[in-house]
Structure 1
Amino acid sequence: MGVNYAKVGDLKEGNYVVIDGEPCRVVEVSKAKTGKHGAAKANIVAISIFTGSKKTLMAPVDEQIEIPVIEKHVGQILADMNEKIQLMDLDTYETFDIERPKEEDLASKVRPGAEVEYWSIMGRRKIVRVK
């Protein structure tokens, strides 16, 4: 499925993590020690890569958590079909439809013939940069 595992206590801001089945980028990490018999806990705040929604996770620092495997690819835009964009991977020449970026700075640069960097994460794809 494209995930690795790490301990919650090893996460830092800027890392990627899976919360509620959604790949997210960590924006805040705070750790709290509990009573003399309790385990230290970490509070993780992250933003979904695909939806932009905020997710939080409270877990013991020694608990294993899923880390998404991010495959970075380069593609060329073949067609702009409003909501979707037709891309061709420049390594495999595979063509597929991908969701138009919601970020205004990316969406304004989308045009046929442009090269883009896209990420493939857990079976989903997202344009992250227009070259």
Structure 2
Amino acid sequence: MSDEEHHFESKADAGASKTFPQQAGTIRKNGYLVIKGRPCKVVEVSTSKTGKHGHAKCHFVAIDIFNGKKLEDIVPSSHNCDVPDVNRTDYQLIDISEDGFVSLLTDNGNTKDDLRLPTDESLLTQVSFRTHVDACFAQKVLLN
């Protein structure tokens, strides 16, 4: 999938921000961080000692949550970083229609029918194959 399909906008109207500030020195492994405008899950954090410019530095290695690419950033530990507000919801996959829409079952028993499968052929084949192999395959969908 192209980056345009998963464009992440870190700015929003007042009261509806998709990110919040957090001091770099408090961000830990398995946390989230925006690097180069992309929401990422932190897989490695290392902190250097105070240098000649007076700040300890945090080196973050993270994985983009939409495309899986590895990104790195170095930030003074006392500076704020943007942290994305990430919510994960798991659904059970019920059906895939011929036009590419999926029917999902929510935790409270309702169906969700407004999501379309990605157009990436290899990903589409993988999801379709797993659906036919195991009717109870739990499809994980990341929504914000």
The answer to whether the superposition gives a TM-score over 0.5 is yes
Structure 2: any 5+ residue segments left out of the alignment? 1-16
Identical columns (%): 26
Equivalent position amino acid for 1:38 in 2: G
Give the alignment's TM-score, normalised by structure 2. 0.64
CA distance in 1, matches of 2:42, 2:21: 15
CA distance in 1, matches of 2:48, 2:79: 14
Equivalent position amino acid for 1:51 in 2: N
Residue 78 of structure 1 is matched in structure 2 by 95
CA distance in 2, matches of 1:43, 1:80: 45
Q: Alpha carbons of 1:113 and 1:62: their partners in 2 closer, same or farther (altered >3 Å)?
A: same
Task: Check the 8 A contact 2:24/2:58 in 1, yes or no.
Answer: yes
Task: Check the 8 A contact 1:77/1:85 in 2, yes or no.
Answer: no
Task: Check the 8 A contact 1:42/1:58 in 2, yes or no.
Answer: yes
| TM-superposed deviation, 1:113 | 6.5
Alignment of 1:1-131 (within 5 A): 1-35=17-51, 37-75=53-91, 76-79=93-96, 86-88=102-104, 90=106, 93-95=111-113, 96-99=115-118, 109-111=130-132, 114-121=137-144
Listed one character per residue, the Cα deviations across residues 76-119 of structure 1 (whole Å, up to 9, x for unaligned) are: 343066xx6624362564421143795xx977533566443322
Structure with greater strand share of residues = 1
Structure 1: any 5+ residue segments left out of the alignment? 122-131
Equivalent position amino acid for 1:48 in 2: D
Give the alignment's TM-score, normalised by structure 1. 0.69
Size of the aligned set, in residue pairs, is: 119
Structure (1 or 2) with the larger CA radius of gyration: 2
CA distance in 1, matches of 2:40, 2:76: 19
Structure with greater helix share of residues = 2
Over aligned residue pairs, what C-alpha RMSD do you find? Answer: 3.2
